[in-house]
């Protein structure tokens, strides 16, 4: 990998966003050539999309970092033993 200048400001910004590992942040910034937006995509394993790609974007959850989505209505009904409304 080429020697890319890694901005300390970008490292601190990504750490402040909640990414826990400084070494992972630095590696992602190295891979992203110090571009913090691309580094976030690398850290969350999300593809970097151009504006025309957003039309066909897959909204499935595959993030490594970040909050969990709440359970679906069907999952809540199943867990609590309640019947679905209209069923």
Q: CATH number, domain at 15? A: 1.10.8
pLDDT on residue 34: 95
Which of 30, 35, 39, 32 lies closest to 65 in space, CA to CA? 39
Structural domain includes residue 72: yes
> Which residue is it, tokens 């969990």?
68
Buried b (16+ CB within 10 A) or exposed e, 24-58: bbbbbbbebebbbeebbbbbeeeeeeeeeeeeeee
Instruction: Average the pLDDT over each of 1-5, 10-14, 57-61 and give the range with the smallest value.
Output: 57-61
Q: In this model, does residue 68 exceed pLDDT 60?
A: yes
pTM for the complete prediction? 0.52
Digit-coded pLDDT (tens) for 16-63: 999 989 999 999 999 999 999 999 999 998 665 555 454 555 545 444
Structural domain includes residue 68: yes
Query: Residue 17 is part of which domain span?
Result: 8-48+64-80
Structural domain includes residue 53: no
């Amino acid at each position: 990998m080429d020697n890319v200048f890694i901005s300390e400001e970008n490292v601190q910004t990504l750490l402040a966003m909640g990414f826990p590992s400084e070494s992972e942040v630095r590696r992602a910034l190295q891979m992203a050539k110090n571009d913090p937006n691309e580094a976030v995509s690398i850290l969350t394993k999300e593809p970097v999309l151009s504006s025309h790609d957003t039309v066909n974007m897959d909204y499935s959850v595959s993030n490594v970092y970040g909050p969990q989505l709440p359970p679906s209505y069907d999952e809540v009904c199943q867990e609590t033993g309640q019947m679905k409304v209209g069923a």
